[in-house]
A and B are shown apart, each in its own frame.
Chain A
Amino acid sequence: MSSVEIGFAIGAFTLVLLALRVHIGMAMLLGGSIGYTLVSGWDPLMSYFKHLAYGRFSVYDLSVVPLFLLMGNVAAKGGLSRRLFEATNAFLGHYPGGVAMSAIGACAGFGAICGSSLATAATMGQVALPELRRCSYSPALATGALAAGGTLGILIPPSVVLVIYAILAEQNVAALFMAALIPGLVAMFGYMIVVSLYARFVPGSGPASAPLPWRARVRALGRVWPILAVFITVIGGIYGGIFTPTEAAAVGTFATTALAVASREMRWREFVAAVLGAAEATAMIFLILLGADVLNAFLALSQMPVAIAEWVLASGYPPMVVLFAMILVYLLLGCVMDSLSMILLTIPVFLPIILGLDYWGLSYTDKAIWFGILALMVVEVGLITPPVGMNVFIINSLAKDIPMKETFRGVLPFLASDLLRIVLIAFFPGMALWLVHLLGG
């Protein structure tokens, strides 16, 4: 067997392991190890293993991942999420569908200090669902909006998936965070428009509540300024090049913890819960990263990604056809797999193809950044599509009386907005790249 053939065989083997409930990271690690042994031998593998864990866990750019997860968990347990929702609701609640729009706005705000979609969905779900029920919103709209809104956690920087992409693609994390901002805001407004249309076309689904007096609104806004300050420091500091993303995450974690403790909503119990939650999420991500490292090291040895890229480039398919074929692959994979694993499995194969094709005359770096944003958007769709829409599961577990079917039905209009946005970014790379060029990332 040639090494490329071994590459394909190991790829298939890994997928079989995955289907048989082996932990994703371990499936990749085992597949990669076997392939590595077949191509290079046992001793090189054992020698590589000596530095595997330290080499993977001590990457400076990766250290933002545990820090951002810590920050998000502290913010969630420290009552910051509730204040965000109260503030958006004070301004939007009196429009038809307004409470659901507020939930989406609050998700976006929370996404700005949290790099994870599932944490955003869970946190905002706990905060906003009771209010949506009290205002007798239709179950489909209420749960659909929250499941979709949760994806803003990762679409709006900081974003764990983007950090991983940046490392795989050898791109600047800060530049990717810049590129994600406008598409993330477009996503937020897109979801709000969907809610507004839904409330208009399905009468009684999203009743308007009584408007609050301005004084109450200003007071609600006054209670979120510390969160805004943290966000502006963290993201502004990264965009302005004042500090590295890791330093920004450290400053943000410090500030968020101080806020949570000062607000008296975080006591020892909440603190331990937040810290253990962050530990769980971090371990989960790094075990997958460890496995992916071995698999990707083997794939690079086997030359399989290069062979696939050459084949696609030689086939002469139009670049846009290739791009949309990849998007389709992501949408299908998203039905069974989580976003991070999809990125880790596909980027080593897909990115060289994208970089070898011509898209709108973009430079090499611009193409890598644009494709990263596009991939991020597409893998996030997997969180709300059946049969394994994780965000839908989470919201549903918070509202056990609402049938899952109802939630998936409620998510459909938001999916339409997702797909529209993906097509827009595919055809207008400027949406992602404009800010990067402006700030000179």
Chain B
Amino acid sequence: MAEAIPRSGDAPDPRPHDPIGRFLYGWSMLSAIGGSLTLFAICGVSVYSVVGRWLTDVPVLGDVELVQMGCALAVAAFLPWAQMKNAHVIVDFFTHNASPGVRRVLDRIAAVLLSALAFVISWRSFVGAWEAYETGETTMLLGWPLWWSYTTLGPGFFLLGLTAAYTAWKGTLHSEGGME
């Protein structure tokens, strides 16, 4: 559902065993950890800005822009990991009584769909980055080129597309949706 389903600590964590799966799993995890470190960096900037404002009445220039850019980067970097953990939300109420075979087929179709849409968004984000580069748009306060932060989104969606294609091919790691 809309939030992480925290799994109990003692359940073994299913991981893929084939080379492609292991590669994607590792890459997604690194991407997620990298995104989190970016979030901690954002925290650092915000705390610095709050303390600076409090002590000297001078806020950090463009802290809002740094937060926005870092947040966009982190979120995109998190997407593949959630797909690897089968955490993206579905409604399974109406298919609850369908046979496992039917559910598996539907889940694979859904994964193909997710993969295709992720690739489209990845492609369009790169086009957006290219246009921002060509027009030379910059952020308002820091004056940083906008294409920098646009570029950070494409890879996340590209990897999401790959992991979704992998789950469409192999089935999800938690094949029964993990909840029941």
Within 8 A of A (CB), among B1-43: 1-6, 8-9, 29, 32-33, 35-36, 39-40, 42-43
Within 8 A of A (CB), among B74-115: 74-79, 81-83, 85, 87-96, 103, 106-107, 109-110, 113-114
Question: Number of residues in B with C-beta < 8 Å to the partner?
Answer: 70
Report Cα–Cα, A52/B127, bound state, in Å.
Answer: 12
A279/B32 in contact, CB under 8 A: yes
Task: Tell which of B50, B88, B95, B120 touches A247, judged by Cβ atoms closer than 8 Å.
Answer: B50
B78/A58 in contact, CB under 8 A: no
Cβ distance B121 to chain A, nearest Cβ, rounded Å:
6
Cβ distance A383 to chain B, nearest Cβ, rounded Å:
8
Within 8 A of B (CB), among A151-173: 160-161
> A341 in the interface, Cβ–Cβ < 8 Å?
yes
Of the candidate stretches A3-11, A305-313, A393-401, A415-423, the one touching chain B is A393-401
Residue of A at shortest CB range from B85?
A280
> A286 in the interface, Cβ–Cβ < 8 Å?
yes
Cβ distance A244 to chain B, nearest Cβ, rounded Å:
9
> A338 in the interface, Cβ–Cβ < 8 Å?
yes
Within 8 A of B (CB), among A25-65: 25-26, 29-30, 46, 49-54, 57-60, 62-63
Q: A119-B3, A277-B6, A280-B78 are in contact. Are A250 and B89 (CB under 8 A)?
A: no
Q: A30-B113, A284-B3, A336-B93 are in contact. Are A25 and B124 (CB under 8 A)?
A: no
Within 8 A of A (CB), among B142-175: 149-150, 153, 157
B91/A67 in contact, CB under 8 A: no
B117/A26 in contact, CB under 8 A: yes
Residue of B at shortest CB range from A274?
B36
Q: A25-B88, A336-B91, A336-B93 are in contact. Are A283 and B2 (CB under 8 A)?
A: no
Residues of B with C-beta under 8 A to A336? 91, 93-94
B92/A21 in contact, CB under 8 A: yes
Residues of B with C-beta under 8 A to A75? none
A26/B113 in contact, CB under 8 A: yes
Residues of B with C-beta under 8 A to A76? 6
> A144 in the interface, Cβ–Cβ < 8 Å?
no
Report Cα–Cα, A282/B4, bound state, in Å.
Answer: 8
Within 8 A of B (CB), among A271-303: 272, 275-288, 290
Cβ distance A283 to chain B, nearest Cβ, rounded Å:
3
Report Cα–Cα, A287/B81, bound state, in Å.
Answer: 12
Residues of A with C-beta under 8 A to B49? 247
> A337 in the interface, Cβ–Cβ < 8 Å?
yes
Report Cα–Cα, A234/B110, bound state, in Å.
Answer: 40
A24/B78 in contact, CB under 8 A: no
B114/A338 in contact, CB under 8 A: no
Residues of B with C-beta under 8 A to A21? 90-92, 95, 103, 106-107, 110
B6/A394 in contact, CB under 8 A: yes
Cβ distance A34 to chain B, nearest Cβ, rounded Å:
12
Task: Tell which of A160, A243, A284 touches B50, judged by Cβ atoms closer than 8 Å.
Answer: A243
Cβ distance B66 to chain A, nearest Cβ, rounded Å:
10
Residues of B with C-beta under 8 A to A20? 94-95, 106, 109-110
Residues of A with C-beta under 8 A to B149? 54, 58
Task: Tell which of A161, A253, A282 touches B78, judged by Cβ atoms closer than 8 Å.
Answer: A282
Report Cα–Cα, A253/B125, bound state, in Å.
Answer: 30
> B58 in the interface, Cβ–Cβ < 8 Å?
no
Task: Tell which of B89, B117, B125, B128 touches A29, judged by Cβ atoms closer than 8 Å.
Answer: B117
Residue numbers of A with Cβ under 8 A of B are: 18-26, 29-30, 46, 49-54, 57-60, 62-63, 66-67, 69-70, 76, 116-119, 122-123, 126, 160-161, 243, 246-247, 250-251, 253-254, 257, 272, 275-288, 290, 335-341, 387-388, 390, 393-394, 397-398
25 contacts between A and B (CB under 8 A): A19-B91, A23-B114, A26-B88, A50-B125, A52-B121, A53-B153, A66-B39, A66-B74, A76-B6, A119-B3, A122-B6, A250-B42, A250-B67, A257-B40, A278-B39, A279-B35, A280-B87, A281-B4, A283-B79, A284-B82, A285-B3, A288-B2, A338-B1, A390-B1, A394-B6
